[in-house]
Amino acid sequence: MTDAITLEVIRHALLAAAEEMARNLCRTAYNTVVYEIHDYGIGLHDANGDVVADAPGIAIFTRGNDHGIHRAIEHIGAGNMAPGDVFLLNYPYWSSAHTLDTLVFAPIHADERLIGFASCRIHVLDLKQKNPGYVLDSTDMYQEGMFFPGSRLYRAGVVNQEIFDIIRFNSRMPERTIGDLQAQVSACVTGVRRTRELAAKHGTGTLVAAMRSINDHGERLARLALADLERGTWSATDIVDSDGVDIDREILLKATVTISEDEFVVDWTGSERDVRGPINLPVGQTIALSSLVFKALTTPDTPVVAGNFAPLRVITDPGSVMHAVPPMPTFTLWTGLLAGEVILKALAQGMPERIPACSGGDVSSMMGLGTNPRTGQPWLEATNEAVGFGGHAEGDGEDGIMHMSEPGCRNNPVEVLEQKSPMFIEHYGYVPDTAGPGRHRGGVGVRRVYRFTAPSTGIALVYRTKSAPWPIGGGRPAAPARILLNPGTEREVVTRGSYNSLAAGDVLANITGGGGGYGFAFEREPAKVLEDVIDGFVSVEAARSAYGVVITEQPWAVDEAATARLRAAS
């Protein structure tokens, strides 16, 4: 048994090693999606593949890495993994993500025994998927790129040049793709080195025992928190706009949550089947997004370890949108970003004091690509936009922050996008009246407007424009996300997830959703409504119609008599 002080020293050393892996990755990656947005999942795992330390990026990646390593162990065999090996896994049904979210991992050996793994997942730019950038309308897996089912990038420390040659000759952007993969390798090698140093310092047996204790402690914390949750069963549904193929078909997501004395069960039975387009989820991602919500409810203040999820059980229906099976297409993984709030919607029925109203509900990504006239070279840049968070029992939702599925991520700065691409950002800021009214209002969404200065492709990755972010306790829904092409002109087009050919001078406006309101809006303090109006979050008209508060200008003030009359008449 490891003593408590040594255990804490090892635990923090593993966390520091994971953070060093992330810094290494960001310093060496070629792709702004990685080093600016932090679109990565990094972990250190025990010999079973269960995470014991991570570096926050995209939350669902780290838990997905566990699933991918488990499947790779089954496929390759732990005994066939040698010191110095580094593996590449992007077969969606095993890796928990689409083909471009590549999982690179390396076994860690000490004293001639396998003691763990280092993992790094990022979004690379191109692996021969049928469309450059992103695939929105594939109908089977074979249109979505090359698959590597646990292939060796390095064998005993020696590069496997044949694999890199296959990638080089099949990628539209080989230099950046291979550069990013090598950055992942570098991050994993860093994790292996630091873990082996811990084994040498404290003893291999002590380190292995500490990893076991870290996960045991994580489980105890989760079970203590589970005992404090309300017991019951609740169901909820929501929709994804479409699957990208059957454009007018709304895709149903259904979650039934059951909390008992010793289990937290998320059952996705009843979610849509026979979905032709690429929004189907590998089961590893369904488990990961369910884990994210469970973690937020039970152990939000401690680092992620696999033990945190021992009380969680996820039920899926193979062949449904929440459990893709070969050859179902899986490229456009937005279902995994939207589905977490279906779990929250169910839980809000039984514990509204713990659950926030719905956020803007979508990552609202925009990706641009083409040939850069300044360099003559291909370019591809992307960013995810912030959304409003839902109001909750303790106060208002946050204004314009990253969606709950990627709490460790950032957006791509204006300066980076304009320097690396023929895009000019005409406007970037909060959007008034997007928040759901309530005693505690939701947060407002944001608008970023792109003018393309050269012929380009603009890919909108927005899949929640039909379903308004839901409120709690008498609050009101928020405005959902919108995408506008050439807004305010006779060529204006309202769109959603779409692949758009744009001429020089065309404009794309990405407008994200606000958060739902909590409680009755007419119960909101008039002084807070006045503050919202002054800050530009609520218009004078919405203050009157949604909150029953009459605001005068010059100077800004609440007309208390008119407000009292208006509220009394409602």
Where is the domain boundary, 185, 200, 220? Answer: 220
Under the banding of pLDDT at 50, 70 and 90, the label for residue 55 is: very high
Residue 153 forms part of a structural domain: yes
Residue 45 forms part of a structural domain: yes
Q: How many domains does the chain have?
A: 3
pLDDT cut 90: percent of the chain above it: 96
106 shares a domain with 137: yes
482 shares a domain with 428: yes
Q: Which of 68-72, 98-102, 302-306, 409-413 has the lowest mean pLDDT?
A: 409-413
Q: What is the pLDDT of residue 407?
A: 81
439 shares a domain with 565: no
Residue 241 forms part of a structural domain: no
Under the banding of pLDDT at 50, 70 and 90, the label for residue 84 is: very high
Query: Which amino acid, residue 133?
Result: G
Under the banding of pLDDT at 50, 70 and 90, the label for residue 56 is: confident
Residue 332 forms part of a structural domain: no
190 shares a domain with 46: yes
Mean pLDDT score of the chain? 97
Q: In which residue are the tokens 């990405």 written?
A: 510
Chain segment 126-154, per-residue pLDDT in tens: 999 999 999 999 999 999 999 999 999 99
pLDDT at 229 over 90: yes
Q: What is the pLDDT of residue 1?
A: 63
The set of residues, in sequence order, having a beta carbon less than 8 Å from that of 45 and lying 6+ positions away, is: 51, 52, 65, 66, 69, 116, 117, 118, 119, 306
151 shares a domain with 162: yes
Chain segment 410-421, per-residue pLDDT in tens: 999 999 999 999
122 shares a domain with 73: yes
Residue 551 forms part of a structural domain: yes
Chain segment 272-303, per-residue pLDDT in tens: 999 999 999 999 999 999 999 999 999 999 99
Q: How far apart are CA 541 and CA 520, in angstroms?
A: 18
Query: Which amino acid, residue 175?
Result: E
Query: Where in 19-126 does DSSP place strands (E)?
Result: 40-46, 51-55, 86-89, 101-110, 113-123
Q: 49 vs 409, which has greater pLDDT?
A: 49
Q: What is the pLDDT of residue 9?
A: 97
117 shares a domain with 50: yes
Q: In which residue are the tokens 């807004």 written?
A: 487
Chain segment 506-540, per-residue pLDDT in tens: 999 999 999 999 999 999 999 999 999 999 999 99
Q: How many CA atoms lie within 13 A of 309 on its CB side?
A: 25
Q: Are strands 113-123 and 149-155 parallel, antiparallel or unpaired?
A: unpaired
The answer to whether 231 and 260 have CB atoms below 8 angstroms apart is: yes
432 shares a domain with 419: yes
Residue 257 forms part of a structural domain: no
Residue 307 forms part of a structural domain: no
The set of residues, in sequence order, having a beta carbon less than 8 Å from that of 565 and lying 6+ positions away, is: none
153 shares a domain with 140: yes
405 shares a domain with 550: no
Where is the domain boundary, 507, 522, 537? Answer: 522
Residue 8 forms part of a structural domain: yes
Q: What is the pLDDT of residue 341?
A: 96
The answer to whether 444 and 359 have CB atoms below 8 angstroms apart is: no
Under the banding of pLDDT at 50, 70 and 90, the label for residue 406 is: confident
pLDDT at 231 over 80: yes
Q: What is the pLDDT of residue 59?
A: 83
Determine the structural domain holding residue 151 and report its residue range: 4-220
Q: For residue 66, what are its two tokens?
A: 């566990």
Q: ∠142-291-17 over CA atoms, to 5°?
A: 90
Q: How far apart are CA 58 and CA 40, in angstroms?
A: 6
Q: What is the pTM of this model?
A: 0.96
What integer is the mean pLDDT of 194-206?
Answer: 98
494 shares a domain with 459: yes
pLDDT cut 70: percent of the chain above it: 100
What integer is the mean pLDDT of 51-75?
Answer: 94
Q: For residue 230, what are its two tokens?
A: 């309300």
Under the banding of pLDDT at 50, 70 and 90, the label for residue 250 is: very high
The answer to whether 314 and 228 have CB atoms below 8 angstroms apart is: no
509 shares a domain with 392: yes
What integer is the mean pLDDT of 359-372?
Answer: 95
pLDDT at 408 over 90: no
